[in-house]
Chain A
Amino acid sequence: METNTLCLKIDANNVIADLKQAEESLDARQELALDFSGVTRIDSPGLQAVQRFGHRAEDKKTKVALRGVSVNVYKTLKLARLTSRFSFEN
């Protein structure tokens, strides 16, 4: 299992697919970072995908950091009670 942190970029128009792809990296890593800097708004399916990804990461005991999350998206994650599943980096 690799211990260095892999950082995956999340495309604003492709949140669900990118998160699905990120799920594949969960088995191989203890730490993972997702770059959300390009995501300025998130819709319901996108949020559900984040929720699902958070569950998987928890199951796999992988620490996930979300990088560059905008304040609007951060508030959305907060209201959806998802922030406790991740760490946040600027």
Chain B
Amino acid sequence: MIATERKERAQLPLPAEGPSAERIAYLESLVSQARIAAAVFTQFTQEDVDRIVKAMVLAGLEQAQHLARLAVEETRLGVMEDKVIKNMVACEFVYNHIKDKRTVGVIRDIPERNVLEMAEPIGVLFSLTPITNPTSTVLFKCIVAIKTRNAVIFSPHPKAWRCCAEAVRIMRETAVKHGAPEGVFTCVESPTLPDNAYLMHHKDVGLIDATGGPGVVTAAYSSGKPALGVGPGNTPVYLEKTGDLNTAIVDIIISKTFDNGTICASEQTVVIDDETYDAALQKFAELGAHLCNEKETKLLERTVIDPQTGFMQPMAVGQKATDIARFVGLSVKPNTKLLIAEIHGVGREHPLSVEKLFPVLAVYRAKSVSEALKTCIDVNHAGGLGHTAVIFSRNEQVIREFGNLINAGRIIVNSPGAIGALGAVYNDLVPTFSFGCGTGGGNSTTDNVNIQHYLNIKRVARRTQNHMWFRVPNQIFFNMNAVENLSQFPSETTIIVTNPALEQFGHVDIVRRHMCPKTHVHVCIIPDAEPEVKVIEQGVEALNFYQADQIIALGGGSMIDAAKIMKLKYESPEADLEELAAPFLDLRKRVIEYPKGRAQRARLVAIPTTSGTGSEVTPFAVLTDKDRGRKVTLADYSLTPDVAIVDPQFVMSMPKGLTADTGIDCLTHALEAGVSNYASAYTDANAMQAIRLVFKYLPTAFAHPHDEEARCMMHNAACIAAMAFSNASVGVNHALAHAFGARFHVSHGKANALMLPHVMAYNAAVPTKFMPSPYTKGYIAHKKYATVADLLGLGGQTLQEKVEKLIAATEQLLDQLGFPRSIAELGIPRDEFERAIPEMVKAAFDDPSWRSNPRMPLMQELVELFWKAYEGRGTARLAAVQPQAV
């Protein structure tokens, strides 16, 4: 991009006046033709466009010399022979890159992601082309546009209009002759700033592709249209001391003299290490460069750089070195290719440090790598951000450092900048005549613009079958006296984590009796409550002191949870429990990961003494942080015990209240896992069986605590339900119960019982808001409840009847177990409950338990559920009578 364009196009965003009515009619006719052509083009196949593209490329190659000659005659810039090469590159190299690429219909199939990429043309493009590379840019854009089935309205630089119009004519006639729609390419006659502004804002123009200076780019991006704006550069070159001097000097001369330096990616300032500086200059001189002395440099900079603006003078652009020398008044050899001037800094006080699109090159002697890199950064920031940079070096570390420091879309290594940046000649960059300069250059891309930028790429994303899982401990031993299996687990030192009562009952002795005889056993007595941080620390201290290789957790859920956390800290002392408790939505995508590959220092054997939590097979553990007054829930499959021993002898003496509480906890686990969005055939099998066992055996276990079969089956049911919810998770019932239980100090089982019928009715009704879930197809919660009703033989003809009967059976069970049937019955005053509601709703909504609930709870719905639980009996059935329309 050159100064003439800067001046002429800088005001584009704010034209003094709009086009005349007559001119508007003309511009509208161009848009109309292009719109019709673009519409027709959408019906073309890949074969259609490939056939047309090939014909256009051949025509472009045939006319390359003709167009180059026209360009030089009209613009008076550059070298005819080089413009021929540019035209040929624009056709042949671009064709070679795009010929086998798909741009119609399906362009890419990614089966492993279940995604298809499909092409959608943009439609009508408005394209501004520069004076410096006029015909090659037109050829390039026409070929790329046809390949992508777009129509283009061209607005060439006014001083390159004739040659561009001729290039457009050749491309259009060839394309149409081979089947392209009429009007696919048009060229604005004698384009003006108001014309350009009008077209940039036209509703039917889909994309502006502006190759030019900052004015053009700014106008394009200010139009409100999607735009590709490609602006000026100022290419720094680092000639590092390990670089091959012979290659470097020849490459720089090739690039800087190519078309008399009109390519904006060409070298502007070469920073040379002190060690090779003199040799490099000598080489330049040997190969035809004139090294300016101090006086000549002053003359040169005064002449070719505008002292007012600091930009290059238009008269110098694209001129030969000898012509510039003559104009400046320098005496040079007739075959001089390049004028080289030494600079000692970058910026306005060093005029030659800016972009110079003619064969004048600035050189800078750097005393160190650090100085060289800093100077390159300065040049890069003096008008070249995002564009191109060049390095000659054999030092990979320096190359990478250069790449890291310089903000350029193309960093060309050991090759000529201009031709290197065009791509496909010296490297494998995408061939282009349009350099994206990233945000540094006010552009939206740093790419070499090509077909991908002329397409809307549509992604057809099919629903993926997410992997699911079913993870449980390796070994589960169950039924009466299952504890005998402990003997098969050798251990030198075992720590039994338990509570005082269980030791008193003699449970610890039973466990000891069945361990390997040579095992050293130590008992760690901890309070029978949710474990505290301090308790965990003491336990870990004991594990380390005795170097335990086995931990036996004997107790209820709290005891087993404590042992899980002790094991975690024993094996991964660095584990931060607070951090590990960070919230997450999907276990597999969580931000915080649990320590991986930690050494298994101790086997964890869990022996439950209640029939409810199922902690012996779950990956969860709850910790109380008393100092901060909060609970911390840990969840990871690495927490799951290695062995579970589900022996009913340890629950035979469970009190009635605890039997009921834990039994309903177990039922809630199974019912929630059954309707969970993470439910699978594997978890369903467990959930359904657990529900069946609870309905059959819990009343007996409650009424006849010494009934061995009932105790055994309830103990199994708790473990089986836990296997289901370990993998399918729970739901909104648990979220409500946690919030309510914590606020009013109500046991977990009782809190669950108070919510359960209401939550079942809630989940069975048509949701106000469906829960997004890739795992389920359609809404099936009510159907799952109906399946449970069938399993229990409750009768009913319709889904609705079956759901109602299941709720009724659940209520009947709660009655049998003597549960309070409303929160009011607990003696909690209505006003106190009302005051607590906001806090409880907040806590319930923050609770991760409901994330797998089939119905997404709204805050207001949580409020209503709390009130239903407060009012109690009857409200659940009323809710379930809503029509089942899903």
B479 at the interface (CB under 8 A from A): no
Assess whether B37 is in contact with A44, with CB atoms less than 8 Å apart.
yes
At the interface with chain B, which of A2-10, A25-33, A60-68, A69-77?
A69-77
Within 8 A of B (CB), among A34-76: 41-45, 47-48, 51, 72-73, 75-76
Most chain A CB within a 10 A radius of its CB, from B40, B181, B182: B40
Assess whether A43 is in contact with B181, with CB atoms less than 8 Å apart.
yes
**Nearest chain B CB to A78 CB, angstrom units:** 8
A80 at the interface (CB under 8 A from B): yes
Which one of B35, B37, B40, B204 contacts A42 once the chains associate, using CB atoms below 8 Å?
Answer: B40
A79 at the interface (CB under 8 A from B): yes
Kindly supply a per-residue 1/0 record for chain B positions 39-57, scoring 1 wherever the CB is within 8 Å of any chain A CB and 0 otherwise. Answer: 1101100000000000000
**Given A44-B183, A45-B182, A77 contacting B39 (CB threshold 8 A):** yes
**Given A43-B181, A44-B181, A45-B182, A80 contacting B39 (CB threshold 8 A):** yes
**Nearest chain B CB to A77 CB, angstrom units:** 7
Distance, CA A78 to CA B35, complexed state (A): 11
Distance, CA A16 to CA B204, complexed state (A): 25
Q: Which residues of A contact B38 (CB under 8 A)?
A: 79
Q: Which residues of B contact A48 (CB under 8 A)?
A: 36
**Nearest chain A CB to B591 CB, angstrom units:** 44
B123 at the interface (CB under 8 A from A): yes
Assess whether B43 is in contact with A51, with CB atoms less than 8 Å apart.
no
Assess whether B43 is in contact with A80, with CB atoms less than 8 Å apart.
no
Which one of A47, A78, A81 contacts B40 once the chains associate, using CB atoms below 8 Å?
Answer: A47
Distance, CA A42 to CA B40, complexed state (A): 7
**Nearest chain B CB to A86 CB, angstrom units:** 15
- Looking at chain A's contact residues, the main secondary structure is helix
Distance, CA A5 to CA B57, complexed state (A): 50
Distance, CA A73 to CA B36, complexed state (A): 12
Q: Which residues of B contact A80 (CB under 8 A)?
A: 35-36, 39-40
Assess whether B181 is in contact with A76, with CB atoms less than 8 Å apart.
no
Chain B minimum-CB-distance residue to A82: B39
Q: Which residues of B contact A77 (CB under 8 A)?
A: 39
Q: Which residues of A contact B42 (CB under 8 A)?
A: 72, 75-76, 79
Assess whether A43 is in contact with B40, with CB atoms less than 8 Å apart.
yes
Distance, CA A81 to CA B65, complexed state (A): 41
Assess whether B182 is in contact with A76, with CB atoms less than 8 Å apart.
no
Assess whether B39 is in contact with A47, with CB atoms less than 8 Å apart.
yes
Chain A minimum-CB-distance residue to B124: A79
Assess whether B36 is in contact with A47, with CB atoms less than 8 Å apart.
yes
Assess whether B43 is in contact with A72, with CB atoms less than 8 Å apart.
yes
Kindly supply a per-residue 1/0 record for chain B positions 202-215, scoring 1 wherever the CB is within 8 Å of any chain A CB and 0 otherwise. Answer: 00100000000000
**Nearest chain A CB to B271 CB, angstrom units:** 52
Chain B minimum-CB-distance residue to A77: B39
Assess whether B39 is in contact with A79, with CB atoms less than 8 Å apart.
yes
Assess whether B35 is in contact with A81, with CB atoms less than 8 Å apart.
yes
Q: Which residues of B contact A47 (CB under 8 A)?
A: 36, 39-40
Assess whether A51 is in contact with B39, with CB atoms less than 8 Å apart.
no
Q: Which residues of A contact B123 (CB under 8 A)?
A: 79
**Given A41-B43, A72-B43, A79 contacting B182 (CB threshold 8 A):** no
**Nearest chain A CB to B181 CB, angstrom units:** 4
Distance, CA A75 to CA B183, complexed state (A): 19
Distance, CA A77 to CA B183, complexed state (A): 16
Chain A minimum-CB-distance residue to B184: A44
Chain A minimum-CB-distance residue to B176: A44
Within 8 A of A (CB), among B331-353: none
Most chain A CB within a 10 A radius of its CB, from B35, B37, B39, B183: B39
Q: Which residues of A contact B181 (CB under 8 A)?
A: 43-44
Q: Which residues of B contact A45 (CB under 8 A)?
A: 182
Chain A minimum-CB-distance residue to B180: A44
Chain B minimum-CB-distance residue to A42: B40
Q: Which residues of A contact B39 (CB under 8 A)?
A: 47, 76-80
Distance, CA A43 to CA B39, complexed state (A): 9
Which one of A51, A72, A75, A78 contacts B36 once the chains associate, using CB atoms below 8 Å?
Answer: A51
Chain B minimum-CB-distance residue to A40: B43
Distance, CA A85 to CA B40, complexed state (A): 18
Assess whether B182 is in contact with A42, with CB atoms less than 8 Å apart.
no
Distance, CA A73 to CA B182, complexed state (A): 17
Q: Which residues of B contact A43 (CB under 8 A)?
A: 40, 181-182
Chain B minimum-CB-distance residue to A72: B43
Distance, CA A67 to CA B805, complexed state (A): 55
Within 8 A of A (CB), among B10-45: 35-40, 42-43
Q: Which residues of B contact A81 (CB under 8 A)?
A: 35, 204
Assess whether B35 is in contact with A79, with CB atoms less than 8 Å apart.
yes
Distance, CA A45 to CA B36, complexed state (A): 9
Assess whether B35 is in contact with A76, with CB atoms less than 8 Å apart.
no
Q: Which residues of A contact B204 (CB under 8 A)?
A: 81
Chain B minimum-CB-distance residue to A48: B36
Chain B minimum-CB-distance residue to A75: B42
Most chain A CB within a 10 A radius of its CB, from B42, B43, B182, B204: B43
Q: Which residues of B contact A44 (CB under 8 A)?
A: 36-37, 40, 181-183
Distance, CA A72 to CA B105, complexed state (A): 13
Distance, CA A72 to CA B42, complexed state (A): 8
Most chain B CB within a 10 A radius of its CB, from A44, A45, A47, A72: A44
Chain A minimum-CB-distance residue to B35: A80
**Nearest chain A CB to B180 CB, angstrom units:** 9
Chain A minimum-CB-distance residue to B181: A44
Distance, CA A78 to CA B43, complexed state (A): 12
Q: Which residues of A contact B40 (CB under 8 A)?
A: 42-44, 47, 76, 80
Q: Which residues of A contact B35 (CB under 8 A)?
A: 79-81
**Nearest chain B CB to A31 CB, angstrom units:** 26
Distance, CA A78 to CA B183, complexed state (A): 18
Distance, CA A73 to CA B183, complexed state (A): 18
**Nearest chain A CB to B48 CB, angstrom units:** 10
Most chain B CB within a 10 A radius of its CB, from A43, A78, A79: A79
**Nearest chain B CB to A29 CB, angstrom units:** 27
Chain B minimum-CB-distance residue to A43: B40
Within 8 A of A (CB), among B159-202: 181-183
**Nearest chain A CB to B52 CB, angstrom units:** 14
Q: Which residues of B contact A51 (CB under 8 A)?
A: 36
**Nearest chain A CB to B45 CB, angstrom units:** 10
Q: Which residues of B contact A72 (CB under 8 A)?
A: 42-43
Distance, CA A76 to CA B39, complexed state (A): 5
Chain B minimum-CB-distance residue to A45: B182
Assess whether B43 is in contact with A76, with CB atoms less than 8 Å apart.
yes
**Nearest chain A CB to B620 CB, angstrom units:** 53
**Nearest chain B CB to A25 CB, angstrom units:** 24
Distance, CA A81 to CA B182, complexed state (A): 17
Chain B minimum-CB-distance residue to A76: B39
**Nearest chain B CB to A54 CB, angstrom units:** 13
Chain B minimum-CB-distance residue to A73: B43
**Nearest chain B CB to A21 CB, angstrom units:** 22
Q: Which residues of B contact A41 (CB under 8 A)?
A: 43
**Given A47-B36, A48-B36, A42 contacting B183 (CB threshold 8 A):** no
Distance, CA A72 to CA B40, complexed state (A): 10
Q: Which residues of A contact B36 (CB under 8 A)?
A: 44, 47-48, 51, 80
**Nearest chain B CB to A87 CB, angstrom units:** 19
Distance, CA A73 to CA B43, complexed state (A): 8
**Nearest chain A CB to B334 CB, angstrom units:** 55
**Nearest chain B CB to A18 CB, angstrom units:** 18
Distance, CA A47 to CA B38, complexed state (A): 11
A-B pairs, top 7 by smallest CB distance, nearest first, are A79-B39, A80-B39, A44-B182, A44-B181, A76-B39, A41-B43, A47-B36
Q: Can you spell out 10 A-B residue pairs with CB atoms less than 8 angstroms apart?
A: A42-B43, A43-B40, A43-B182, A44-B181, A47-B36, A73-B43, A76-B39, A79-B35, A79-B123, A80-B39
Since A73-B43, A79-B39, A80-B36 are in contact, a sample of 17 more A-B pairs with Cβ atoms closer than 8 Å, ordered by chain A residue number, is A41-B43, A42-B40, A43-B40, A43-B182, A44-B36, A44-B40, A44-B182, A45-B182, A47-B36, A72-B42, A75-B42, A76-B42, A79-B35, A79-B42, A80-B39, A80-B40, A81-B204
Which B residues are closer than 8 A to A by beta carbons?
A: 35-40, 42-43, 123, 181-183, 204
Which A residues are closer than 8 A to B by beta carbons?
A: 41-45, 47-48, 51, 72-73, 75-81
